[in-house]
């Protein structure tokens, strides 16, 4: 199978006329005036197809071509774009702007506006829109296995880093670490720490704008490293959480990745279970987080029933607690 398809094939598959391509800026020529466009669109289909045959447009197969990202520019674009259409649009637009300018087609055919629906966790407080926009662009540029590895690294960074980092206007007094990749967890954790009660608060907006900038820059950095444009920075030693003698960290695998918990024991009794981080889907996984820790403490055992509709998340919590208890010798 050839790496490229012809313009004629593209036109047949999409049903676009040559004038339609011109309006999208895909022909490589300057856009004609509105009267010229109307005239072109009124030509017989055969004429358009003949013209398309004469001028081949190479459409790359997946994954699409890459470029070196300007990290500082992507960061600034991410912040500014947030105030236009939210976090998902912000990250996608920041990355696409560079790709459109440095690569051109096919990225010029992708409207950043398609990512507007990702704001506020896709309207459901689920996956943070900034991560959704980043994942989509990574998926365009990388083979599936590579994309999965990059996205996993991005998500891990998101749930272990004090954000926002980029704060050009309003500095957050309390940058926070999100306990999960979900919008609802990330935003509410910050708002609670900052004493903010309204989503419209300028400090909340600046925070989410900063997080959008951070995610855009981190994604660009990971892609630059993946494609060999830059070297990965030496990995800094992970900051160890200060634990009391009776506190233990355990990990288990849920549906969305690693679930980390902190278990406190008094003698041979389980007295407290705190979920530190996870990548589970908001809403779907809520019953597990609301019931499983309490059930384990009540039973003083990990042999408890999983939450209906959230079995993977439940098992991940249970396994994490088991891991912690094993370290405690229980």
pTM above 0.85, yes or no: no
**Which pLDDT score, from 0 to 100, does residue 236 have?**
61
b/e burial code for range 148-164 (CB count within 10 A of at least 16 → b)? eebbeebbebbbebebb
**Which pLDDT score, from 0 to 100, does residue 8 have?**
45
**Which pLDDT score, from 0 to 100, does residue 240 have?**
60
**Which pLDDT score, from 0 to 100, does residue 320 have?**
95
- The phi and psi torsions of 258 (rounded to 5 degrees) equal -75, 135
Report cis status (omega within 30 of 0) of the bond before 262: no
**Which pLDDT score, from 0 to 100, does residue 173 have?**
85
Confidence of residue 235 (pLDDT cuts 50, 70, 90): low
Confidence of residue 29 (pLDDT cuts 50, 70, 90): very low
Q: Which of 219-233, 263-277, 282-296, 315-329 has the weakest average pLDDT?
A: 282-296
Report whether pLDDT(258) > 80: yes
Closest by CA to 207, choosing from 180, 183, 239, 181, is: 183
**Which pLDDT score, from 0 to 100, does residue 57 have?**
65
In the beta sheet, which residues pair with residue 275? 261
**Which pLDDT score, from 0 to 100, does residue 27 have?**
39
Summarised one tens digit per residue, pLDDT across range 53-84 is 544 567 889 999 999 999 999 999 999 999 99
**Which pLDDT score, from 0 to 100, does residue 172 have?**
87
59 vs 148: which has the higher pLDDT: 148
- Please give the Cα distance from 326 to 301 (Å, whole number): 12
Average pLDDT score over residue span 249-266 = 91
Q: What count of residues does the chain have?
A: 330
**Which pLDDT score, from 0 to 100, does residue 38 have?**
36
- Please give the Cα distance from 221 to 70 (Å, whole number): 9
Report whether pLDDT(19) > 80: no
CA dist list (Å): 324 to 245, 264, 268: 13, 9, 13
| Three-class HEC string of 140-194 | HHCCHHHHHHHHHHHHHHHCCCCECCCCCCCCCCCCECCCECEHHHHHHHHHHHH
Report whether pLDDT(319) > 70: yes
Percent of the chain with pLDDT over 90: 67
Report whether pLDDT(28) > 50: no
- Long-range contacts of 117-121, Cβ-Cβ distance < 8 Å, separation of 24 or more: 117/88, 118/86, 118/87, 118/88, 118/89, 119/85, 119/86, 119/87, 119/88, 119/89, 120/86, 120/183, 121/182, 121/183, 121/184, 121/282
Summarised one tens digit per residue, pLDDT across range 237-257 is 555 668 898 999 999 999 878
In the beta sheet, which residues pair with residue 260? 251, 277
Summarised one tens digit per residue, pLDDT across range 166-182 is 999 999 888 899 878 99
- Please give the Cα distance from 326 to 330 (Å, whole number): 6
Report whether pLDDT(31) > 70: no
Average pLDDT score over residue span 135-152 = 96
283 vs 170: which has the higher pLDDT: 170
Average pLDDT score over residue span 17-41 = 38
CA dist list (Å): 39 to 10, 42, 50: 22, 5, 16
Mean pLDDT, the chain, integer: 84
Closest by CA to 113, choosing from 93, 94, 135, is: 93
C-alpha dihedral sign at 199, 204, 208, 209? positive
- Please give the Cα distance from 122 to 78 (Å, whole number): 18
Q: Rounded to an integer, what is the distance from CA 109 to the centroid of its chain?
A: 21
Report whether pLDDT(155) > 70: yes
Q: Which of 15-29, 106-120, 185-199 has the weakest average pLDDT?
A: 15-29
Contact 121, 182 (CB under 8 A): yes
Given phi > 0 = left and psi -120 to 50 = alpha, else beta, which region is 297? alpha
Report whether pLDDT(2) > 60: no
């Amino acid at each position: 199978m050839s790496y490229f398809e012809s313009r004629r094939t593209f036109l047949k598959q999409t049903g676009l006329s040559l004038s339609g391509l011109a309006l999208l800026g895909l022909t490589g020529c300057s856009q004609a005036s509105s009267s010229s466009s109307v005239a072109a669109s009124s030509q017989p289909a055969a004429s358009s197809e003949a013209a398309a045959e004469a001028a081949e447009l190479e459409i790359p197969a997946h994954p699409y071509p890459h470029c070196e990202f300007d990290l500082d520019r992507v960061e600034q674009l991410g912040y500014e774009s947030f105030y236009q259409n939210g976090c998902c649009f912000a990250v996608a637009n920041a990355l696409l702007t560079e790709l459109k300018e440095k690569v051109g087609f096919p990225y010029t055919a992708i409207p950043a506006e398609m990512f507007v629906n990702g704001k506020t966790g896709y309207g459901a407080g689920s996956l943070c829109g900034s991560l959704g926009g980043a994942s989509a662009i990574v998926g365009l540029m990388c083979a599936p296995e590579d994309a999965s590895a990059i996205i996993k690294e991005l998500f891990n960074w998101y749930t272990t880093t004090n954000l926002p980092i980029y704060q050009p206007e309003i500095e957050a007094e309390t940058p926070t670490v999100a306990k999960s990749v979900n919008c609802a967890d990330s935003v509410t954790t910050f708002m609670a720490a900052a004493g903010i009660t309204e989503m419209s608060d300028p400090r909340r907006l600046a925070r989410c704008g900063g997080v959008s900038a951070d995610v855009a820059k981190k994604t660009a950095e990971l892609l630059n490293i993946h494609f060999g444009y830059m070297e990965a920075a030496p990995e800094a030693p992970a900051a160890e959480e200060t634990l009391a003698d009776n506190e233990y960290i355990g990990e288990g695998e849920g549906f969305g990745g690693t679930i980390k918990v902190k278990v406190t024991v008094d003698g041979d009794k389980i007295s407290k279970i705190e979920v530190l981080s996870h990548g589970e889907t908001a809403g779907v996984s809520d019953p597990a987080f609301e019931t499983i820790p309490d059930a384990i403490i009540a039973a003083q055992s990990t042999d408890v029933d999983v939450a209906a509709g959230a079995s993977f998340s439940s098992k991940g919590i249970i396994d994490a607690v088991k891991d912690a208890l094993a370290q405690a010798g229980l």
